[in-house]
């Protein structure tokens, strides 16, 4: 037989239905004859109001985990349509209300960063977890609808893909923690020079090189994976461990095809968010956040931000034009920078921000064709590459506030040109004698050019930066549950 039709909360309330609500007490109000508690469970910003006798409310305080069983009834209060008239209340576990660090009051983000293991219980932090989960689902849907294969490249690698020297080295040396915490082992102690893999290995800074291998096998691949950078940058945009969304596309010959994937994917993600419950709650949360934190975006600005992603097309300008635009703006007195924009120096964050705000008009902007000298070895030359100012077929996607959100390029797929570029970048390439060396060199990567090489390109998007941008949270340390950055590790 078909299931009975779902009842609305109101119909359930009229029927006097008995319910059990499991959750955490967000706040309690105790009066002479009656007590009220707001109970939340992280599934929504909303709480359920439960009504108790003073005796029932005895052990209740902010943070206590409870199971309240009672009758769901229409509420006489203004704040909610229905409430739970408690019959029984069970306190589910210990809670020390005197020392609980998340009392009901405003906490600064810096204070909350010292409590990553607890702060995700706060309604807004729970919402960010649901946002992360939902974005992952939208991204997965977009890629599977467009014939991309999700792959799982390795975390332990031998190459510093970006060549920035910001790798964490993997070590098999025994940890120097108290012996009581280590596994009892019969193995002889490790010698410090006893490298587990013979040659040094690193936590990956980017999956790109391995994605290139897999794209040549199945055409279009993507991954959302942890990446690691031993960057000492103390900024609201950098972490030591972050998630990167990367895609690689074989058989494309034009950079604009890669940019189109970025643009269409982000448009699909923003549209999905806009029409979702999580999206609605993010906008609702903005109204409250705003009161306590005057740096927070308003609800209207956040909605505009999403719309800016949904509307298109996004401007695409060359790096050369960007430098000219910046130089011109400085000369006109429209803006002042700490660093003078210079062709060979790359773009500083302040430059990226100005470009997004002035040319992107508050939305995203692609900057393409950067000078070869400031980009990694694997990038292919621009179509209009010239001898006096050689450029590469690459792009950065810049958005307001967050600045660089995505970096991508066409990859050099011709063997001689790639070898030359590796030599120019001081990498072991042409000079290596063994063609299939497992010594940490990039010989395996060169094999991809030796055998059935195809034109291809791809990109990497900072997933946590995307979360910042879409949620309006200005610091990446507040959208990652357990953030790690230089000299900071809390739990
Ligand atoms: O621009 P990046 O360094 O590009 C690459 O690693 C390419 N190999 C990706 C590819 O083409 N497959 O990094 C890509 C993005 C940046 O645009 C930025 O959004 C993010 O990763 N990112 C970081 N996010 C947080 N913390 C850090 N330390 C980051 N470094 C880069
Ligand atoms: Mg980059």
- From the CB of 208, is ligand 1 less than 6 Å away? yes
Ligand nearest to the CA of 461: 1
The pLDDT tens digits for 338-350 are: 999 999 999 999 9
Quote the ipTM score: 0.99
Ligand in closest contact with the CA of 486: 1
Q: Which of 407, 470, 479, 483 has the most ligand 1 atoms within 8 A of CB, as the residue to mutate?
A: 407
Residue 162 near ligand 1, beta carbon < 6 Å:
yes
Distance 442 CA to ligand 1 centre (A): 21
Is 462 a pocket residue for ligand 1 (Cβ < 6 Å)? yes
Same topology, domains 9-105 and 125-413+454-478? Answer is no
Which of 203, 206, 235, 411 for mutating ligand 1's site (highest number of atoms within 8 Å of CB)?
206
* 289 pLDDT higher than 70: no
Answer whether 212 contacts ligand 1 (Cβ < 6 A).
no
Helices (H), 370-455: 415-424, 443-450
Identify the residue whose C-alpha is closest to ligand 1 atom 29: 238
Residue (of 249, 240, 159) closest to 206 by Cα position: 159
Cβ proximity of 385 and 220 under 8 Å: no
Q: Where are the alpha helices (DSSP H) in 201-298?
A: 208-218, 255-274, 277-292
Report pLDDT for 388.
75
Lowest pLDDT segment from 165-174, 188-197, 481-490: 188-197
The whole-angstrom separation of Cα 482 and Cα 246 is 22
State percent of the chain over pLDDT 70.
91
The answer to whether the CB of 459 is under 6 A from ligand 1 is: yes
Q: What number is the average pLDDT over the span 37-50?
A: 95
Residue 333: how many other CB atoms lie within 10 Å: 7
pLDDT band at 188 (very low <50, low <70, confident <90, very high): low
pLDDT confidence band for 191 (50 / 70 / 90):
low
Residue bearing the CA closest to ligand 1, atom 26: 238
| Per-residue confidence (pLDDT) for residue 291, from 0 to 100 | 56
Q: pLDDT category, 293, cuts 50, 70, 90? A: low
Spell out the residues 6+ positions from residue 212 whose beta carbon is closer than 8 angstroms to its own. Answer: 248, 411, 445, 448, 456, 458
Query: How far does the centroid of ligand 2 lie from the alpha carbon of residue 397, in Å?
Result: 9
Q: Whose CA is nearest to atom 24 of ligand 1?
A: 462
CB of 404 closer than 6 angstroms to any ligand 1 atom = yes
Ligand nearest to the CA of 480: 1
Q: Whose CA is nearest to atom 22 of ligand 1?
A: 462
What pLDDT digit, counting tens, does each position of 311-331 carry?
A: 989 999 999 999 999 999 999
Question: Helical H runs in 45-155?
Answer: 109-113, 116-119, 123-145
CA distance 305 to 385: 34
pLDDT for res 179: 52
From CA 301, how far away is CA 297, in angstroms rounded?
Answer: 6
CA distance 172 to 185: 14
Using the CB atoms, write b or e for 270-291: b if 16+ within 10 Å.
Answer: bbbbbebebbebbbebbeebee
Higher pLDDT residue, 167 or 185? 167
**Cα–Cα distance, 400 to 136 (Å, whole number):** 22
Q: Whose CA is nearest to atom 23 of ligand 1?
A: 462
Q: How sure is the predictor about 357, in pLDDT bands with cuts at 50, 70 and 90? A: very high
Mean of per-residue pLDDT scores for the chain: 91
Q: Is 244 in the pocket of ligand 1 (CB under 6 A)?
A: yes
Q: Which ligand is nearest to the CA of 405?
A: 1
* Ligand 2 center from residue 405 Cα (angstroms): 8
Query: Quick one: fold of 125-413+454-478?
Result: BirA Bifunctional Protein; domain 2 (3.30.930)
d(CA 225, CA 211): 12
Give the per-residue pLDDT at 437: 42
Q: Is the pLDDT of residue 7 over 50?
A: yes
CA distance 409 to 366: 12
CB 407 near ligand 1, within 6 Å: yes
User: How many whole angstroms separate alpha carbon 173 and alpha carbon 196?
Assistant: 9
Q: Which ligand has its closest atom nearest to the C-alpha of 258? A: 1
Q: Which residues pair with 229 in a beta bridge?
A: none
Nearest CA to ligand 1 atom 1: 407
- Say yes or no: CB of residue 263 within 6 Å of ligand 1: no
Q: What is the pLDDT of residue 175?
A: 63
Which tokens in the block code for residue 62? 């902010």
Q: What atom in ligand 1 is closest to the CA of residue 206?
A: 6
- pLDDT tens digit string along 375-424? 999 999 998 777 777 999 999 999 999 999 999 999 999 999 999 999 99
- Say which DSSP state 424 is in: H
Share of the chain above pLDDT 90, in %: 79
476: DSSP letter:
G
Ligand 1: which atom is nearest the Cα of residue 404?
A: 17
Cβ-contact 365, 393 below 8 angstroms: no
How far apart, in whole angstroms, are the C-alpha atoms of residue 280 and residue 445?
A: 45
Nearest CA to ligand 1 atom 25: 238
Break the chain into its structural domains and give their ranges: 9-105, 125-413+454-478
pLDDT the model gives residue 405: 98
For ligand 1, is residue 458 a contact (CB within 6 Å)? Answer: yes
**CA distances to 186, 359, 375 from 244, in Å:** 39, 26, 19
* pLDDT confidence band for 361 (50 / 70 / 90): confident
Q: What is the pLDDT of residue 14?
A: 79
Which of 18-32, 207-221, 283-297, 414-428 is least confident?
283-297
Q: Who has greater pLDDT, 5 or 98?
A: 98
Whether 185 has a pLDDT exceeding 80, the answer reads no
Say what the pLDDT of residue 292 is. Answer: 61
Q: Which atom of ligand 1 is nearest to the CA of 231?
A: 28
265-288 pLDDT per residue, tens: 999 999 999 999 999 999 999 876
Residue nearest to atom 4 of ligand 1 (CA): 407
Which protein residue has the closest C-alpha to ligand 1 atom 17?
A: 406
Average pLDDT of 79-99? 95
At residue 133, does pLDDT exceed 60? yes
Name the class of domain 9-105. mainly beta
pLDDT band at residue 184 under the 50/70/90 scheme: low
Q: Is the pLDDT of residue 438 over 60?
A: no
Q: Do 481 and 150 form a contact (C-beta atoms < 8 A)?
A: no
Work out the average pLDDT over 185-211: 79
364 lines ligand 1 (CB under 6 A): no
For ligand 1, atom 3: residue with the closest CA: 162
Residue 429 · residue 489 · CB < 8 Å: no
């Amino acid at each position: 037989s078909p299931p009975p039709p779902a009842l609305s909360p109101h119909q359930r309330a009229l029927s006097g239905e008995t319910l059990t609500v499991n959750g955490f007490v967000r706040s309690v109000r105790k009066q002479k004859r009656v007590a009220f508690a707001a109970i939340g469970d992280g599934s929504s910003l909303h709480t359920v109001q439960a009504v108790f006798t003073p005796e029932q409310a005895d052990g209740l305080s902010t943070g206590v985990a409870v199971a309240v069983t009672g009758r769901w009834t229409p509420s006489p209060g203004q704040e909610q349509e229905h409430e739970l008239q408690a019959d029984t209340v069970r306190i589910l576990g210990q809670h020390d209300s005197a020392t609980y660090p998340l009392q009901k009051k405003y906490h600064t983000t810096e204070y909350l960063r010292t409590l990553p293991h607890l702060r995700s219980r706060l309604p807004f932090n729970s919402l960010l977890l649901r946002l992360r989960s939902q974005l992952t689902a939208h991204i997965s849907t977009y890629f599977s609808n467009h014939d991309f294969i999700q792959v799982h490249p390795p975390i332990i690698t031998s190459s510093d893909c970006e060549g920035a020297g910001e790798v964490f080295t993997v070590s098999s040396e025994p940890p120097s923690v108290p012996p009581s915490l280590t596994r009892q082992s019969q193995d002889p102690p490790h010698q410090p020079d006893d490298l587990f893999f013979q040659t040094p290995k690193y936590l990956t800074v980017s999956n790109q090189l391995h994605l290139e291998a897999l794209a040549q096998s199945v055409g279009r691949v993507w991954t959302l994976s942890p990446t690691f950078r031993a960057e000492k940058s103390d900024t609201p945009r950098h972490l030591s461990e972050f998630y990167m969304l990367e895609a690689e596309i074989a058989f494309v010959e034009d950079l604009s095809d890669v940019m189109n994937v970025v643009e269409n994917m982000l448009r699909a993600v923003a549209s999905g968010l806009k029409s979702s419950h999580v999206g609605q709650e993010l906008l609702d949360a903005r109204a409250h956040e705003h009161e306590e934190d005057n740096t927070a975006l308003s609800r209207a600005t956040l909605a505009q931000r999403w719309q800016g992603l949904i509307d298109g097309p996004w401007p695409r300008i060359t790096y050369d034009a960007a430098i000219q635009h910046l130089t011109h703006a400085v000369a006109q007195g429209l803006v002042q920078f700490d660093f003078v924009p210079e062709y060979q120096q790359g773009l500083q964050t302040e430059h990226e921000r100005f470009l997004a705000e002035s040319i992107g008009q508050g939305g995203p902007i692609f900057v393409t064709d950067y000078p070869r000298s400031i980009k990694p070895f694997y990038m292919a030359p621009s179509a209009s590459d010239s001898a006096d100012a050689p450029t590469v077929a690459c792009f950065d996607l810049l958005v307001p506030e967050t600045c660089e959100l995505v970096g991508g390029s066409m990859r050099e797929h011709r063997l001689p040109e790639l070898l030359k570029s590796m030599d120019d970048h001081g990498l072991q390439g042409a000079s290596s004698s063994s063609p299939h060396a497992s010594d940490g060199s990039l010989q395996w990567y060169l094999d991809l050019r030796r055998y059935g090489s195809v034109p291809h390109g791809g990109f990497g998007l900072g997933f946590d930066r995307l979360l910042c941008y879409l949620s309006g949270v200005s610091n990446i340390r507040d959208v990652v549950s357990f953030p790690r950055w230089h000299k900071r590790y809390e739990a």
